[in-house]
Chain A
Amino acid sequence: MTDHAVRCHGIGKQYRIGQREAYDSLRDAITRAFRARSGWQRKRDPSLSGMRVGTGNMIWALKDVSFDVHRGQVLGIVGRNGAGKSTLLKILSRITSPSAGHAEIRGRVGSLLEVGTGFHPELTGRENIFLNAAILGMKRVDIKRQFDAIVEFAEVERFIDTPVKRYSSGMYVRLAFAVAAHIEPEILVVDEVLAVGDASFQKRCLGRMNDIARGGRTVLFVSHNMAAVQSLCSRAVLLEGGRVQRVGSADDVVSHYLQKAFDPVSVREWPDIASAPGNEAVRLRSARVVPHDNLETGFITVKTPIRIEFEYWNLRPGARLNLSMHVHNERGVMAFNAISLNEPVWHGRGFPPGLFRSSCLIPGDLLNDGIYRIQLMLVQDEGIVLHTEDDALILEVADSPEGRGNWHGKWQGVLRPILEWETGLISPLTAEPA
């Protein structure tokens, strides 16, 4: 008898590119059948057996993934978007089958890839609890036993017989998570469902996750939130490009991930003035991100001051240039726009033809964690945009456990400044004399 709850042996998953977006129409299938017949193409798509694919545009979303999870262990799975984390969870929770390799699973698996799966807006809270719990694999007797606990956890006692379409989104999410948090599989597979609800509810969700983990159950936990991974998980797996990059203690894997998180788009160079982006007025020579500390690792956290440097050629004598930098987060929300109007030496003067370097400092404790895209505009006379370079730089800002207090959830907001707070006692409340 082994003590492994999950063993993965060389798991691979292959997708045809574009497969997820386009389901076939019958017409496609017919044309394909004719084409295949005439060309005798017998190449088979392993993820779509029975169907021949003419072109070879297949990608491996996962390749050679092997790791073990001991019973009772809480394993974090980390990696950037597209690293294959979700695909791995889908395989382990049997939503899709692997294309290669195999996995052994000992025990009932419950998966939480989304909260509220199968909720129906027309049904009441009570009805949805039963339905959703049944979908998540709970037996009716267990649902009845847990019913009160679920309602209490979700704080929806008064509305339990109201259709959930009348719920506020907060109530809806709380109820959905409450059901999910009370399924009792031996192996729990969780995708990032914690980023729901308000702060106090998130805290309880994490607490509940902790209870589950402490209760001796095996948990596989996918998250972008390194702080949560470090506090919940003992071990972690780092996926990159569909492969296992590192397996080890959660602290080790997280710090490894954060170091590797630095992207090559931190430097861009166009040494040839003839082909550099721009026009007859200006051309961009380079753009780079220089972290103020950690120079050797290039590692940026929310605490790190970052110098952004641009080099550009001015080609027209006497042009009065300035830079405008638009910083967007990964959702495309503009975090801020910074313009070099306060630059002390050259601003307002005519630039002679030549190579210039402008730089600015984004202070630490300003950006939130996440990906930021920097769009650069080279501007003349404070108003005429000569050239715009989209995605001149892309920087990834990692989370830092510092300054979070007891909060392990996703830090909300585009920015994450640390502000100067002051608290003073205005007047003490003393017991009134009788």
Chain B
Amino acid sequence: MTASDTVNDFDARPCGGVSDPAVLVLRPARSWAPIDLRELWNFRELLFFLTWRDIKVRYKQTALGAAWALLQPLMMMVVFSIFFGRLAKVPSDNLPYPLFVYCGLLPWQLFAHSLTESGNSLVASERLITKVYFPRLVIPLSSVLGGLVDFAIAFTILILMMIGYGVAPTLALLTLPLFVGMTVLTALAAGLWLSALNVRYRDVRYTLGFIVQFWLFATPVAYPSSMLPSAWRVIYGLNPMAGVVEGVRWAVLGKSAPPPGLLLVSFAVVITMLVGGVFYFRRMEQHFGDIV
């Protein structure tokens, strides 16, 4: 038998005992398991509930509640504006530095939050994994999606700042969902690798914070990528977040478009990481129940 014999129909309803629901065959773990999108679709409600739980719980016992989603990027903006903008006089592509940096911080925080949450998600959901079956992809997926709400909240400040600084969006704004989507996919791609690795090697947990910090400096959040020699910019795209952050600035603030070469490289890297991550995840998934 081949993998295609593994039919799994969770929608099969009881029909008076005369139906012949699809047969599910359980067999030893395979080295490579293809992604079962239909099954994932069947579990979309669980994805929704887990995302909703993460958001609900995150601010439930905090004094300031969802205001944290605003305060974090705001405080970062203030610190960056003082140290990089004022003191170090980092150029900002002819935009007011606070606006420049806040616009970069939004996708960055979405990414950093989603990556940290998804990287730890499987280990944190140990109880679920060892007690109930569902496609494990739902877990890192839900932690990535949870960051979008914070992003939306923090985005309102950006709108206010644009009004304040008198910066009007251009038609490029239409590409914003694309870049936000790419942020989520980048976080998911890295999160899939890290969360699955984290199950086997708990070292990942301690490395995550370092990875995120390191990644921040490799990303043009506090500085523009135009600071780099132009020959380097395509290589810079190997960091997908470089393309994303520059892309978001272009989409929202209408500054000069990021070099297409950089964007293409970023896209290619994200897709490769994601496909690889999904396969690695699916492969490891079969053992999560044993080793988490």
Contact = CB atoms under 8 A, between A and B. Distances in A.
B17 A102 contact: no
A113 B131 contact: yes
A102 B56 CA distance: 41
A265 to B, nearest CB: 31
Given A26-B201, A134-B45, A48 B57 contact: no
A184 B14 contact: yes
Interface in B1-35: 9-10, 12, 14, 17, 20-29, 31
Interface residues of B, number: 46
A117 B131 contact: yes
Interface stretch (A135-143, A297-305, A398-406): A135-143
B201 A120 contact: no
Contacts of B49: 130-131, 134-135
B63 interface: no
A108 B23 CA distance: 10
Given A134-B46, A136-B132, A50 B60 contact: no
Interface string B269-292: 000000000000001001101111
A277 interface: no
Interface string B55-79: 0110011000000000000000000
Nearest to A191: B131
Given A106-B21, A186-B12, A137 B287 contact: no
Contacts of A107: 12, 14, 21
B133 A93 contact: yes
Given A25-B201, A123-B57, A130-B49, A103 B131 contact: no
Contact of A106 (B23, B134, B283, B291): B23
Interface residues of A, number: 57
A241 to B, nearest CB: 20
A188 to B, nearest CB: 11
A202 B199 CA distance: 36
B25 A95 contact: no
Interface of B: 9-10, 12, 14, 17, 20-29, 31, 45-46, 48-50, 53, 56-57, 60-61, 127-134, 199-203, 283, 286-287, 289-292
18 contacts: A23-B200, A26-B201, A29-B201, A95-B132, A95-B133, A96-B287, A97-B26, A100-B28, A103-B27, A104-B25, A105-B26, A106-B20, A123-B57, A131-B49, A134-B46, A134-B48, A135-B46, A137-B10
Given A26-B203, A99-B29, A120-B57, 10 more contacts: A24-B200, A29-B200, A46-B29, A90-B130, A94-B133, A95-B133, A108-B21, A114-B131, A131-B50, A139-B45
Which 6 pairs from chain A and chain B are nearest by CB? A94-B133, A96-B289, A95-B289, A102-B27, A134-B49, A26-B203
